[in-house]
Amino acid sequence: SIFLNFKFLILNSPAPNPLPDTSGERGKTGFTLIEVIVAIAILAISLVMIMQLFSGGLRVSRTSRDYTRAIVYAKDKMEELHIEPLQGSGEFEDGFKWESEVYPFDEYEEKLENTDINLLKIKVKVIWSNIANQQKSVELVSLNIIEKEKLQIHAASYNTQ
């Protein structure tokens, strides 16, 4: 009796239809070719925009790194020139170049006439080339107090502009 009931269930169940439903209704199980193409186009445009954002971020990061490195080099060179104020130029090991100018600061010469000190104007310029081979630079300017005796000793190396 159980065997007959099982056989009855199998024979009376509807057979699965291997062909898709072609009645007037639109299929509910898939996407049309146009929908797939539009989705891929939106995905491609989004991916391109995200990649441009990343490359722009990397470019800005490199520029910021270069300016920071140039400022640190200029400050280090400025500290050296406050100890020994000499004009010159040179290059750091990573391609950054520097130039320095040292000359008397004449604006307060009359006020400092009766003292034994004088002011020096020190300029340090750091120059480098970016990826596009454009020259970039940072320039620091400072005043340094120096004794008049030392000023006469180093006078030969100063630019008297």
Give 43-101 pLDDT, tens digit per residue: 999 999 999 999 888 889 999 999 999 999 999 999 999 888 889 999 998 889 999 99
Beta bridge partners of 142: 122
Burial class (CB in 10 A: 0-12, 13-18, 19+), 46: exposed
Residues 137-147: what's their mean pLDDT?
A: 90
pTM comes to 0.64
Q: How confident is the model at residue 153 (pLDDT cuts 50, 70, 90)?
A: low
Mean per-residue pLDDT of the chain: 81
More reliable by pLDDT, 147 or 148: 147
Q: Which two tokens stand for residue 112?
A: 């400092």
Output the CA torsion sign for 60, 65, 68, 69: negative
DSSP-assigned letters across all residues of 43-96: HHHHHHHHHHHHHHHHHHHHHHHHHHHHHHHHHHHHHHHHHS---EEEE-TTS-
Residue 40 has pLDDT above 60, yes or no: yes
* pLDDT number for residue 24: 55
Residues 127-133: what's their mean pLDDT?
A: 88
Residue 159 has pLDDT above 50, yes or no: no
Beta bridge partners of 97: 91, 127
Q: How far apart are alpha carbons 33 and 41 in whole angstroms? A: 12
